[in-house]
Chains A and B, each alone.
Chain A
Amino acid sequence: MSLPEPFRLLAYLLGIMAFVGLNAAYLVWVERKGAGRFQRRPGPTEVGYAGLLQPIADAVKLLTKQVIVPPGADATLFRLAPVVVLAPALMCLAIIPFGPHLVAREINVGLLLLFAFGSINVMAIMIGGWASRNKYAIISAARVVSQDVAYEIPMLLVVITMLMVTGTMDLNQIVRQQAGAFWNWNLFKLAANPLMPVTFVIFYICMLAETNRAPFDMAEAESELVAGAFTEYAGMGFGVFFMAEYANIVVGCAVATVLFLGGWQSPIGILPGAFWFLLKLYALVFSVVWVRWTFPRTQFYGLLNLSWKILIPIALFTLILSSVMLKLF
């Protein structure tokens, strides 16, 4: 990249915003179309070819609606929450390497930054739920906090395991280490840690929980809490929460791709890195959609039990195992 620095940053800024906007819009389409196929119906078909213009119609509808701040709500926090939920997701994308050179900022503490910003999401939903002055929203906010606290721990334990295996926090560096065929991906580096696939599964489950996706969608839980923390949000306020959900899924899947699936590395040596990155990313995103439309919602305490009694002990064990392996070999 030979662009001068300010222009380069501007280009990346616009690029990331467009990427998030496009993803949020078209992942909704993918979700609806996918859900339709899982449920033996065609999904959206009316607006545009195969419903491809549906996201635009939805966005226009949301934009033209009035943003209502309910009386008694904390207006400042209520308006702030959608911003706080989306901004960290955008920040995280700045350090994701889409290709060998396609990264907005290569930072040597990338992983740290990622999880620092990633956890702000929780606070935003909490703020939104609290500021709504709605009982359902407050229950939801309380749930989100305990859920994300519970799942942050196994996730970070997994990340520490990965840090020990890779020895760097630089995401691009992590990807470079996984060069070559697919058995060089961290997912299959059984020599470093024989439980690597288990680690990946833990990471995946934690990612689902952190992004509040089914079967862990305690924040929304539409059959219990109406719309959870988002009950009082109308128009684009709700729309931004919706966008942020998909942006967070993309970030989560991107991190999983970088850490476990070799990022932009091509398994067969053809086609540019960005293609392989997006392919792996969207394969993961599709699996997230698949899970959502297949499983019912878990119990809230079942969810916490899963984290504290199963995921954390296993994550701790893999951590110790990989440190022992590192010491021995």
Chain B
Amino acid sequence: MTTEEIMAVAQGKAPNETFVLNLGPQHPATHGVLRVKLTMDGEYITRAEPVPGYIHRMQEKMGENRTWAQYLPNTSRIDYLSAMAYTHGYVGAVERAAGIQVPPRAEYVRVITSELNRISSHLVWFGAFLLDLGGFTPLLYAFDDREKILDLLEGITGSRLTYSYYRFGGLYNDVDEDFLGGTREFVAQMRPRLGMYRTLVTENIILRKRLEGIGVITPEQCRKYGATGPVIRGSGIAYDVRKVEPYSVYADFEFDIPVFPEGDSMARYLVRMEEMGQSLRIIEQALAKLPDGPVMAEKVPRVLKPPAGDYCYAVEAARGRFAVRVVSDNKEMAYRIKLRTPSFSNLSLFEEVSQGMMLPDALALMGSLDLVIPDIDR
């Protein structure tokens, strides 16, 4: 509805034929417990109001009454699909606060595992997004590839989803030959698979018609709501934390930031598909350059008491910029932990962008934002 039409309804000049449709918290398209209160005019959305909070677990408050080390496992559970990056963000912030130097081998392994995790996260998104669009089969193919990553990561971390692999000053343990060989093999296998996804899914005419020119997010909207990750890169802004504020050893690698200026659902789709290829590139280089040495810094105190101060560390998680701000008052617990999660900002623009869209298009848009609900609610 246009503004004039809404005004006409409000003044009683036109009949109000809209109805409210509760999408969620239990709905197949919201991938969890997100609730969107839709005001619909037929199949058109006049207003979509996201109602988050159904899986709010007080992650930030928990950080204030656990020791620095005790809070570490929590970070894997915020965005369970890209747990590595989230642990990296927290560990990085605490290392910055306590002034711990991480040995180079540990940094390289962090990059390798983070990028593997990014691929596995994008594969889940790929399957789930196609599921939103009514195509069931690609999900199973994506999970086939993801399984290999999970097996590799399970071999070194002991878990398949919530890894908590990084420690203050390094890693839980060193990687073995099985992991390195398996990763090389995986990189070789994954390239042709990406080509297969292109011919099987990306070039499908039905898919293109559903995504191209639909759900356009302008760069201004991205800036207004603080969107990051593939969402902002799909709107033509080359913002990637790995490039603009390089952390860890990302500065050592050559890789491109895929940017598509269209801003539609297809652009976001293509950004993620390209990113998987770039992640493979990074993994390859990191494997080739992997130095020897310890994976744990010496002299990391058992009870950490970072000097008082305010520290921030940002990483590029699979969904965008994840930043941790820790405020320390030189105690064994944090004074305050603030988590800047990408899904929350990415969801914020949904209300504005989805206005006037049809329900299936809006759900395709929501799928292309790649929301993880615990990441929104924290």
Q: Which residues of A contact B (CB under 8 A)?
A: 35, 38-41, 135-136, 139, 142-143, 214-215, 217, 221-224, 226, 293-302
With contacts A135-B21, A223-B28 taken as known, whether A297 is within 8 angstroms of B361 at the C-beta atoms is: no
Taking A223-B131, A224-B359, A297-B206 as known contacts, 14 extra A-B pairs with beta carbons closer than 8 A to each other, sorted by chain A number, are: A39-B140, A40-B144, A143-B43, A223-B28, A223-B132, A223-B133, A293-B136, A293-B137, A295-B204, A295-B206, A297-B133, A297-B135, A299-B210, A302-B206
A221 touches B19 (CB 8 A): no
Say whether A41 contacts B140, CB under 8 Å: yes
Q: How far is the CB of B207 from chain A (nearest CB, A)?
A: 5
Closest Cβ of chain B: how far from A289's Cβ, in Å?
12
Show 5 A/B contacts (Cβ-Cβ < 8 Å), sorted by A: A215-B206, A293-B136, A294-B135, A297-B210, A299-B361
Quote the shortest CB–CB distance from B38 to chain A (angstroms).
10
Instruction: Indicate if the CB atoms of A221 and B206 lie closer than 8 Å.
Output: no
Q: Please state if B209 and A302 are interface contacts (CB–CB under 8 Å).
A: yes
> Given A223-B29, A299-B210: A35 and B136 within 8 A (CB)?
yes
A223 touches B358 (CB 8 A): no
Which residues of the partner chain A approach B132 to less than 8 Å between Cβ atoms? Answer: 223
B134-149 interface bits toward A, Cβ cutoff 8 Å, 1 = contact, 0 = none:
1111001100100000
In whole angstroms, how far apart are the Cα atoms of A295 and B200 in the complex?
A: 10
- A139–B137 touching, CB < 8 Å: no
Q: Please determine whether B207 and A296 come into contact, CB atoms closer than 8 angstroms.
A: yes
B: which residues have CB within 8 A of A?
19, 21, 27-29, 42-43, 130-137, 140-141, 144, 204, 206-207, 209-210, 358-361, 363
Residues of A near B210 (CB, < 8 A) are: 296-299, 302
Q: Is the interface of B mostly helix, strand, loop or mixed?
A: helix
Contacts A298-B206, A298-B209, A299-B361 known; A214 to B134 CB distance under 8 Å? Answer: yes
Q: Which residues of A contact B359 (CB under 8 A)?
A: 139, 224
In the complex formed, the residue of B with least CB distance to A299 is B210
| Closest chain A residue, CB of each to CB of B134 | A297
Beta-carbon contact of B360 and A299 below 8 Å? yes
Q: Which residues from chain B contact A293 at a C-beta distance below 8 Å?
A: 136-137
| B21 A223 Cβ-Cβ under 8 A | no
Would you call A223 and B363 a contact (CB within 8 A)? yes
B21 to chain A, nearest CB (A): 5
Chain A residue with minimal CB distance to B363?
A: A224
> Pick the contact of B19 from A35, A135, A294, A295 — CB < 8 Å?
A135
Contact A40 B206 (CB under 8 A): no
- Determine which residue in A35, A297, A302 has the highest number of CB atoms from chain B within 10 A of its CB, and name it: A297
Instruction: Tell me which of B135, B207, B358 has the highest count of chain A C-beta atoms within 10 A of its own C-beta.
Output: B135
Q: How far is the CA of A305 from the CA of B29 in the complex (A)?
A: 25
Q: Give the distance to chain B from A170, nearest Cβ to Cβ, in Å.
A: 38
Chain B residues with CB under 8 Å of A300's CB are: 43, 358, 360
Q: How far is the CB of B20 from chain A (nearest CB, A)?
A: 9
Query: Are A296 and B204 closer than 8 Å at their CB atoms?
Result: yes
Which residues of A have CB within 8 Å of B42?
142
Chain A residues lying within 8 Å of B28, measured Cβ to Cβ, are: 222-223, 226
Contact B206 A296 (CB under 8 A): yes
A286→B136 CA distance, assembly (Å) = 17
Report B151 CB to chain A, min CB distance, Å: 17
Determine the chain B residues whose CB is within 8 A of the CB of A135 once the complex forms: 19, 21
How far apart sit A302 and B21, CA to CA, in the bound complex (Å)? 23
Q: Which residue of A lies closest to B209 (CB)?
A: A302
Interchain nearest-CB distance for B267 vs A (Å): 18
Residues of A close to B209: CB separation below 8 A: 298-299, 302
The residues of A that contact B363 with a CB separation of less than 8 Å are: 223-224
